[in-house]
Amino acid sequence: MRADAIAQYMIWKKWPRWYVVRRDTPEDQDYAAQVKRSAARYGGKVVEDHIYRLPPGARNLDSGHQQVQQQIPMETESAPDHDVVWVINSEDDFGDYLMYRTALPRPVVGTQGLQATAWDKSYTESGGMHFQNAIPRLADRPPVERDYTAWLAFRALADAAMKSGKVTPKAVKRYMLSDDFKLEAFKGQALSFRTWDHQMRQPIILGGGTRVPVTTSPQEGFLHQYYLTDTLGFDKPESKCKFK
């Protein structure tokens, strides 16, 4: 869903050519595969899938920033024509260095730069300020994505049990996967679960380090016969998940 959320916005902005820069880790390989899937799905193009190798110990040296500042332009200057640098760096050891250091002035998106997330500290729409204010009172810090997803899990269970009047796990689960289950969760529309993979369909916020969110996906123009949020992630005909 994250890759699709970013990809939709890139296509909406008419930035279809993506230069992927990543580490060669299993997590980053999986994310790169999702970016390529999103490109095929929405009409984008991965012009190159580039493996970045961080200078040994660069971040720990006094001159580490100088090494990176010199290397990043060299890493990106030979890239094919591209509109966006899509960084995939799950270990968070070089992705932030790409911003403002690429050979050409290009937006950086992915695991750093413009990021796709279930919650962002700048999001205040649809009553979101209530959640933004609740976490600092409890934890003395701004809310992060894991706060929202944890709250969402408990809220979904409690809401399903209360509205269905059921108490057994099997009965509550059945209600949560039914068309009757609709969860209000500060996203401007009711959230629900997909029956084929049990993933929660929800709008995805695009932001990261900005004072206001950049946008929310799904984007205008990406249509679906049932739920617009099913344009994000694997739709039923695409999914290989099988639940007994």
Contact by Cβ (8 Å): 80, 19: yes
Q: pTM of this prediction?
A: 0.92
Interval 197-215: pLDDT, tens: 999 999 999 998 778 899 9
Q: What domains are defined for the chain? A: 2-117 (3.40.50.2300), 125-231 (no CATH)
Ranges of the chain whose pLDDT falls below 50: none
